[in-house]
Structure 1
Amino acid sequence: MVVSGEQPLPLERKLEREKMRDRALGGPAQEDLPTIPDHYDWVGEPIVYMNLGYQTRNEEVDSSSKNSDSYYTVQASGDLLGMESRISLAKSAYDSEHREVLTFYKRPDSPDESMAGGLKFMAAGDIYAVSDSLIFSGGDGLGIDLQFGEVSNNDSFGKRVIEGDGPPNWEVELYRNGTLLDFQTIGSDGRYRFIDVPVEYGDNIFDIRIFGPQGQSRNKRESINVGNEMQAKGKTAVRLSYTDLGESLIDDKPENIVADDGTIIELREPPGDKKAYLSVKHGVTDWLALGAAFATHDNVFGQGEDNQYTELIVMGAFPGISLGFNHVSQDDAGEAYQLSGQTRLGNTSLSFLHKDFDDFSSDRNPGANLDTESEIRITGTFNPLSAFYAGANPISYSLIYDDEQRVNGSQIETLENLLGFSLLGGRMTINTTHSEFSQSESRTLGRTSYTRVAGYNTSIRAEVNYRIDPDAEATSATANITWLPTPHIRTQLGLFKDLSDDSSDSVDFTASYLLDKVTLSASAFVVDGGDNALFLSAEFSLGADSGNSWSISGKPRSQNGRLRARVFLDNDRDGIFSDGDDPLSGASFIGRSEWKHRETDDYGIAYLDNLSVDAPQSFGLNESSLSDPYYKSTFAKSHIISHAGGVQKIDIAVISTVEAEGSLSISRKGKIAPLAGIPITVKNADGDIIASAITEFDGFYVISGLPPGNYLLSMDQQALQRFKLSAIEDIPFVANADDGVVYIDAIVLR
């Protein structure tokens, strides 16, 4: 046989056949991957995000008034003292104070494990206090939160707290199953938090979309399944939390931001409450769980009042429905109870909630003003056009009715409806809220928003706010168009129109230059009446890189984990990088699309960003990127668990393998014909099967990836019997590292 440089090697032909089979079958089969657990370093390699800016403002009211100031956001995450640490330093323009927030987190290395004492989750430092259905409504402060047995972020039956980090003054939108639920602006502490977020019975996919003033965008996804959450039979969950709302780990006690006329622009001064909470839940049967909670609230709202509470919790999960009952007693006062339930009928989710208060005062009922509160939620989807058009998208809807009866006899009824549907390639959301007051007053407000990605480089966001009753009128309108004319240039045009009597229209335009190392932005802001402002900013991230250096990136990275992969030729075949091994450069990886373009350097090292922290991330070596087709990785493609700021260090050993090939044919009546479909196996010296193949249509077989050593080649005896052929003895052969290819003598069966 003659082999020239233009002819593919047998191994290359085999790989190409596998690719063709994968394409024909719709892709490779899904794999059950091994899991590489998380780990925490005592001192890790931090990831730092920075947004540095300068603003100058000219107020036309006072032509001599020209103000300028700097602003910045620094967010870092990394391992410290064996825990995940997150710190945020932020200062807004014209703000004399800066804010510091530092929080430590710790979770088990894998979901099926626990830490000491069965601990599943720990948060310490600047945390958010417990939020439940009848007693507490959360709050920022210095404290610690410990959860044993399972982790819960619920604040009420059928409701959740969804929180995260982001640069101050960025906008956050919260979507559930594709429908916009709420939005807010990130505060000066660099944290966003959605309280009492309703969840449906069944699957809930929450998308958190964060938008920056220069057209930046980030996306995060969380999933919650309601109906399968009840405490498992025989399992116990414990939560212990303490929060001092008047303190911070490193920040001085903040002061309110006050305008020149004394108006409070942002409320920062904490009330000084202290909240302690202990809950225990136990799964009694497959359908019943019981629990109890004990809580203390000292210096309520900073007024010196102390309250203590005892709660009984009953939860039931039946086919298609979940029920809950809570009863709370307040020491030396009254009591409260809550009855709740959730179910699903087809595409419709139903939820109800009823609270009754009797001389009961808490965060959820300040001053004991509430007598009863009832809520009914109906959410779902329908598709009126499905009968006419198979590709029609469904319409999502939500109806929420809330009725509050107060001790003084007053009543507030609220009906909120939300409708979401596809329109002109985008997503339209219509939200209206109607409120009825006992004084025969009513108010109806509405908001309609539209988002669309028009092509790969243009996105549109628009919103109109209006009042329907009384005196129907539009109150304001906004529109934002983001356009990327090139991969390195991002522009955004923003329009705001105040449709009320007090007009304050504005226009802003931003241009950003997206470099590999930094994103530079310039924004101009003009208000009707002559006021204007100019913003200049630089946005970048810092992270450790190989060779004891730091890498700079124009993309935010502090919210995710990182992976430090080292690829080396394992010359001594011990699986450990040592002096006798050779680093391999130019190797790339699979798992995320951007990893295909991130190659190892001369040290054999590559840092891979955006390692998922919400779910296990698949990871493997792209063997086709190795410089020698006979190199084979001993590392199996795996799922990796990580945390924000964590750096997973993985060494990938590569060995030089040998390819064995030969042919099998049959001779009858003097004619030799190839024998196809015969299983071939290769055994090592211990008799273990380490590789296999099946003869192709031409009788040839190729067995690749064999480490150097002594082997035995055998053929499936049952397959041979189909051709009435006698069994043959195993054929010994030797694979040497320098051979590359071992040619086994042609086998002719008679």
Structure 2
Amino acid sequence: MKPRFRLQAVLYLCTLLFTFNVSAANYTLYHWPVVDDDFVIVNVKLNGRSVISDLEGYYTQSGRLLLPISPLNNALGIDLQVKNNQINGVIKKSDLTFTIAKLEDKVHSDDIPIWTEDDFDHYIDLQVINTVLNIDADFDYTLMQLSLTTNLLESTQNKTSILPLIRRQFTSPEFDIEVADQFQRITYPVTDYSLTSSYLSRLEKSKSLLTLNSYFDAFEHQAQFRFNKNETTTNQFIKLAKSYENSDQEGLLTQLHYELGDIQSQRDPLVMNFSQGRGVYLSNINPNTSQSFSTITIEEATLPGWLAELYRNGQFVAASESTDENIVRFEDVETFYGNNVFEIRLYGPQGEQLTKTRKISVGNTALAPGQMSYQVELLDSTRNLLNSHSNSATSFGKSISGNVSYGLSDTLTYDVGFNYFQGDENNRYLSTGLQSNSELGSFKLVGAKQLDHGAAFFAGYRGETSLFSEESTNINFEYSHLNQFNSAVFLKQTSALKSRASLSLNSRFTTFENLSWTLRFLNEKRDRKETRQFTQFGLNASYLGGNWSSRFQYDNLQNELINQSYWSMDLGKWHWTNSVDWKPFEDKELLNYRSSLRWPQSSNMFNQTQLSYNPRSAAKLVLGHQYTYRNDMFNFSFTGQYDSEDEWLISLGISGTISFDKFNNDINFLPPRSLSSGQLAVETFIDKNKNGIFDTQDQAIAGASFTGNYLWKDHQTNSNGQVLLPSSTGGQILSLDLMSLSNPYYQPANNRIKTSSHRGGVTNIKIPVNIVNEVEGTIYYTANNKTKPASGVSVLLLDGEGNIQYETISEYDGYYFFPKVKAGEYSIKLEQNQFAVDNLITKNLPEKIVAPEYGDTIILRDIVLQDKTQLLAQPTDISEAQYFVQLGVFKKRLSANIVAHSIQALDFPLQLYQNLNHENYYLVAGPYKTKQEAQSVINQAYSQPVLFGSFMIDARKYDSINWHRIDSNFELPIKAQAITRQKTAHYYCQYALYAKRSSVNVPLVESNKNIFLSEISKQGKSYTVVLSGPFESIGEAECDTKISSALNEKSVPIIKHYKELNKITDLFD
């Protein structure tokens, strides 16, 4: 008897090999400086179940994922405590302890684990979790999904009624605005294609296969077109769908949902069965809910060669391959009471990996009293919409179906339905039913009458119980009784079916949390035929790096026991999948075996080896290997196959994605997009009138880039400020990269935009940009000849009418800061807080503050608060005080370097400070012991236009932990380039900007005396610009649009303030 269980023993051994414990260890991490562009929001799954839906971390350019430690403790039981210079860790479930030495050394290699921290939390490298648990967690950047598979962790979410809060929820929302998915009148299709040519030695001829999957919008509907053609047949499928409300919403009803074209019919317990064909479906029922007690069909559009694994609530259900309809389909999928979360894990033939999810809520929702739902379907299952040939795989021809449900109470729903079938015989059906929801589960009773024939009755129950074990057990029970009744569900046969009863149980083992079981029993009674009894018992487990499933099924009519086993596992970076069907007793016959090995892959290469054995085929054993080469435009694959009949096959293929960029009028040839989502049409502009609309006086922003998705790194807006960005499944948060803007005072109205786009769709996003100013200063309090910073003082900016426009509170060092101040005139006011302002004399309070139109940093003189009782006292002894001359404030260090470069002739002792709050750089000269020395330097500084506005400041301002001194002495570049043209005015007209000097039409520039070429520095790179000027004000700027036309520029000239140009060096002096 031992050989009968040999295969099962091997499978169990595979499971146990991955359940070993892990000993504690020490780890060393190196500090990684935070880069805001690398911020990501991640969905975390543990053993197939979602445990954290919005974990916020960082994903570095080198491909390392950094996880916050607080949510790991709350949701996964990984307790991490930061003490001194180390992190102590405990895995609560397994009592595993470990220590992480957290060093401050900057990371110099991509191969060592890292850590970081921000204002909200500490973050550790995913590699640490992988090493501690001895796993290889998979992070999918496209889906923003981290998948953990281990029995050393457990989710703590279902053990508390309060879900863990995520760090940023305490301070601010995750995004400024949300732009919902949009449907357009028409969009250019995004098409996944595959072209394969094969030569088979047995036939001594070649054959080709072309497949296309296109996704687009048509008349504000989501459209899908699938095309499949070989030498003999052509298959075409097209479907349009529309939902007027979010289909992910909770609840039974939606406003309207319909499909037309090649659709899939809806099933019910007695009359209608699944079928494909051309037709129309209309309903107001949420597609993610189900009141039917029937099984469901789940499908996903793919190209040929894709393998799919279906999971329900983390439990493996089945595996399937794509069909000649360009689709992966799972039929007769059983659902249980409550929420059924289905995951379709897709594996492409060229290394693609993707997970699609679908949630079906069964029986736990009901219509409210007086609510009504409806479904209407017209179907011709004999044909597809674009195909002329008949569809032979159908149990009926044309059909009309309708159903109406009405809520009688909070728990009771009444149904009535009508069906008409046209085929070899025309049949009409009337049905009625009741459904009741209670704490015990959901009950359904249905009666159907086949007009001019017999009748049928259905009773069903779906619920769950905890009577048998600590784990809940799902129960499905169905009973159908037929009397001279046939339909699409119960086909007409010689031995008519009299009754059918089925029972399904599903649960998990209490001892082994990752091991679940399923039991199914079916009993069928027919006229003049023996009663059929079908029994199936299955086990499946999710283990470290894979899953395993084994099912035994016995049919008394065939009198044989069959075992179907399936397992997949990660072996390092290899992925191995196996499936076997065999008879474990008596003859021990092997019915079918298939094995697939996906090799470790790189950015430009993928390999896959497959082995199959089928004793019923002419070639029992088949061995094949596929090599795929990837580049930036397409994937090229080469496949070789050899079988036991000494036949061989060679195949060449090319695949990719084709889309059209409507902004640049370009056709994009890309590698396969892995069935990803739609596109984002982004438009950004300077909104001068601040109405959020691009008007004639507004200015497009060219060269802007965006953060939020790694696919956007090489995308920039064109001269019209437009760019088309690829979207990701599940959406993303889009932000305008401020470092890509030419003016540091450009500020988008909303810079964290949550958005998504369905497959084939285009979501339009407008990002208006305002020009803002910054106002800053410091407040001191003087008493008894001593000065200290005045913290906690409310500082107000008032408009000309005395209305409060901006408000802030001075910090512990007396510093206050107003960001994003609109252009205009303001006055400043102090209000009592920690200091009794009314009893103080305020000195150096400015009468008027002018925020310019072009944007600037306005630094106010130090405000001094002095007690009235000290007015007659001796002045404070400041003989030891020192003074700086503040020369400028800069967003970028490079800008400070350029200014310092240009004033070397003044021989000032320069120093550079950075404010750690807003990260601006302050270029100062000094220190000087007396005000007279400092004033003399100011007089010299005013001889340079770039230093106009310099002023004296108390050196003690920079003597606090809020300021960081860059160097002891600010280092200037070794090679200084003199400014050959003194710019005495402040404005220029910019007609063009070139990244390459060779792109300039030099003869045209030299022939026009009003314009000249200059070099400017922008983000560390040199650019050549065409300018005219200078002009003393914006009003006097005379920009000639004819020059733009002569330079073939589509945009109008841009008026630039001298600060926006950073450095100007005339090339023609």
Normalising by structure 2, what TM-score? 0.60
8 Å contact from structure 1 (residues 381, 396) kept in 2: yes
Letter in 2 for 1:490: F
DSSP 3-state at the match of 1:313: strand
Residue 52, structure 1, aligned to residue 202, structure 2: no
The residue number in structure 1 matching 2:503 is: 376
Tell me the CA shift for residue 554 of structure 1.
0.4
Compared CA separation, residues 725 and 285, structure 1 to 2 (3 A)? farther
Where do 1:608-619 residues align within 5 Å? 608-612=725-729, 618-619=733-734
**CA separation in 2, counterparts of 1:702 and 1:686?**
22
Tell me the CA shift for residue 482 of structure 1.
1.6
Aligned to 2:595, which of 450, 474, 479? Answer: 479
**CA separation in 1, counterparts of 2:805 and 2:319?**
57
**CA separation in 1, counterparts of 2:686 and 2:214?**
35
Question: CA-to-partner distance for each residue in 1:286-313, whole Å, 9 max, x for gaps?
Answer: 22222211111111xxx2x111112223
8 Å contact from structure 2 (residues 248, 288) kept in 1: no
8 Å contact from structure 2 (residues 254, 286) kept in 1: no
The farther-off stretch of 191-200 and 149-158 is 149-158
The residue number in structure 2 matching 1:100 is: 236
**CA separation in 2, counterparts of 1:352 and 1:701?**
70
The residue number in structure 2 matching 1:182 is: 318
The farther-off stretch of 477-486 and 130-139 is 477-486
Where do 1:435-446 residues align within 5 Å? 435-437=554-556, 439=557, 441-446=558-563
Where do 1:458-477 residues align within 5 Å? 458-477=574-593
**CA separation in 2, counterparts of 1:324 and 1:88?**
38
8 Å contact from structure 1 (residues 585, 600) kept in 2: yes
Compared CA separation, residues 33 and 162, structure 1 to 2 (3 A)? farther
The residue number in structure 2 matching 1:657 is: 772
8 Å contact from structure 2 (residues 316, 549) kept in 1: no
8 Å contact from structure 1 (residues 443, 470) kept in 2: no
Tell me the CA shift for residue 50 of structure 1.
0.9
8 Å contact from structure 2 (residues 731, 757) kept in 1: yes
DSSP 3-state at the match of 2:121: helix
Identity among equivalent positions (%) equals 21
DSSP 3-state at the match of 1:28: helix
The residue number in structure 1 matching 2:539 is: 419
Compared CA separation, residues 672 and 416, structure 1 to 2 (3 A)? farther
Compared CA separation, residues 619 and 444, structure 1 to 2 (3 A)? farther
8 Å contact from structure 1 (residues 110, 641) kept in 2: no
Residue 395, structure 1, aligned to residue 518, structure 2: no
Compared CA separation, residues 153 and 287, structure 1 to 2 (3 A)? closer
DSSP 3-state at the match of 1:594: helix
The residue number in structure 1 matching 2:639 is: 523
Compared CA separation, residues 112 and 102, structure 1 to 2 (3 A)? closer
The residue number in structure 1 matching 2:652 is: 536
Letter in 2 for 1:375: S
**CA separation in 1, counterparts of 2:501 and 2:794?**
69
Tell me the CA shift for residue 379 of structure 1.
2.0
8 Å contact from structure 2 (residues 315, 542) kept in 1: no
The residue number in structure 1 matching 2:701 is: 584
Compared CA separation, residues 366 and 149, structure 1 to 2 (3 A)? closer
Between Structure 1 and Structure 2, whose CA radius of gyration is higher? 2
Aligned to 1:702, which of 807, 811, 817? Answer: 817
**CA separation in 2, counterparts of 1:138 and 1:410?**
28
Task: Identify unmatched segments of 5+ residues in structure 2.
Answer: 1-35, 38-115, 124-165, 868-1069
Where do 1:82-121 residues align within 5 Å? 82-92=220-230, 95-108=231-244, 110=246, 120-121=256-257
**CA separation in 2, counterparts of 1:327 and 1:730?**
86
Aligned to 1:124, which of 260, 283, 288? Answer: 260
**CA separation in 1, counterparts of 2:245 and 2:445?**
34
The farther-off stretch of 616-625 and 735-744 is 616-625
Tell me the CA shift for residue 383 of structure 1.
5.0
8 Å contact from structure 1 (residues 90, 168) kept in 2: no
Where do 1:5-154 residues align within 5 Å? 20-24=118-122, 27-29=167-169, 31=174, 34-59=177-202, 65-92=203-230, 95-108=231-244, 110=246, 120-148=256-284, 150-151=286-287, 154=290
DSSP 3-state at the match of 1:22: coil
**CA separation in 1, counterparts of 2:803 and 2:117?**
28
Aligned to 1:297, which of 421, 427, 446? Answer: 421
Tell me the CA shift for residue 91 of structure 1.
1.9
Question: CA-to-partner distance for each residue in 1:272-328, whole Å, 9 max, x for gaps?
Answer: 6111111112233322222211111111xxx2x111112223222223622222222
**CA separation in 1, counterparts of 2:586 and 2:441?**
40
Compared CA separation, residues 553 and 716, structure 1 to 2 (3 A)? farther
Compared CA separation, residues 185 and 23, structure 1 to 2 (3 A)? same
Question: CA-to-partner distance for each residue in 1:96-143, whole Å, 9 max, x for gaps?
Answer: 111111111122265699xxx985112111111222221111211111
Aligned to 1:201, which of 328, 331, 337? Answer: 337
DSSP 3-state at the match of 2:269: coil
> Higher strand share goes to which structure?
1
DSSP 3-state at the match of 2:401: strand
Compared CA separation, residues 527 and 337, structure 1 to 2 (3 A)? same
**CA separation in 2, counterparts of 1:716 and 1:350?**
68
**CA separation in 2, counterparts of 1:78 and 1:317?**
40
The residue number in structure 2 matching 1:287 is: 411
The residue number in structure 2 matching 1:339 is: 459
DSSP 3-state at the match of 2:492: helix
Residue 671, structure 1, aligned to residue 783, structure 2: no
8 Å contact from structure 2 (residues 619, 643) kept in 1: no
Normalising by structure 1, what TM-score? 0.84
Compared CA separation, residues 298 and 447, structure 1 to 2 (3 A)? same
**CA separation in 1, counterparts of 2:388 and 2:571?**
46
The residue number in structure 2 matching 1:166 is: 302
8 Å contact from structure 1 (residues 73, 89) kept in 2: yes
Tell me the CA shift for residue 78 of structure 1.
1.1
Letter in 2 for 1:676: S
Compared CA separation, residues 690 and 129, structure 1 to 2 (3 A)? farther
Residue 328, structure 1, aligned to residue 471, structure 2: no
> Could you say what the CA RMSD is over the residues aligned between the two structures, in angstroms?
3.4
Tell me the CA shift for residue 610 of structure 1.
3.7
Tell me the CA shift for residue 680 of structure 1.
4.9
Task: Identify unmatched segments of 5+ residues in structure 1.
Answer: 1-10, 13-17, 60-64, 256-267, 386-392
Aligned to 1:274, which of 374, 398, 404? Answer: 398
Indicate the structure whose relative CO is greater, using CA pairs within 8 Å and at least 6 residues apart: 1
**CA separation in 1, counterparts of 2:371 and 2:704?**
46
Aligned to 1:313, which of 433, 448, 451? Answer: 433
Question: CA-to-partner distance for each residue in 1:450-486, whole Å, 9 max, x for gaps?
Answer: 223445x532222232222452343333222222442
Aligned to 1:643, which of 758, 761, 764? Answer: 758
8 Å contact from structure 2 (residues 216, 761) kept in 1: yes
**CA separation in 1, counterparts of 2:490 and 2:792?**
76
The residue number in structure 2 matching 1:62 is: none
Tell me the CA shift for residue 512 of structure 1.
0.7
The residue number in structure 1 matching 2:32 is: none
8 Å contact from structure 2 (residues 228, 324) kept in 1: yes
Compared CA separation, residues 334 and 626, structure 1 to 2 (3 A)? farther
The residue number in structure 1 matching 2:990 is: none
**CA separation in 1, counterparts of 2:838 and 2:461?**
70
8 Å contact from structure 1 (residues 559, 645) kept in 2: no
Question: CA-to-partner distance for each residue in 1:216-264, whole Å, 9 max, x for gaps?
Answer: 4443111233454322444322111100112222112157xxxxxxxxx
> Higher helix share goes to which structure?
2
The residue number in structure 1 matching 2:156 is: none
**CA separation in 1, counterparts of 2:348 and 2:167?**
38
**CA separation in 2, counterparts of 1:626 and 1:446?**
64
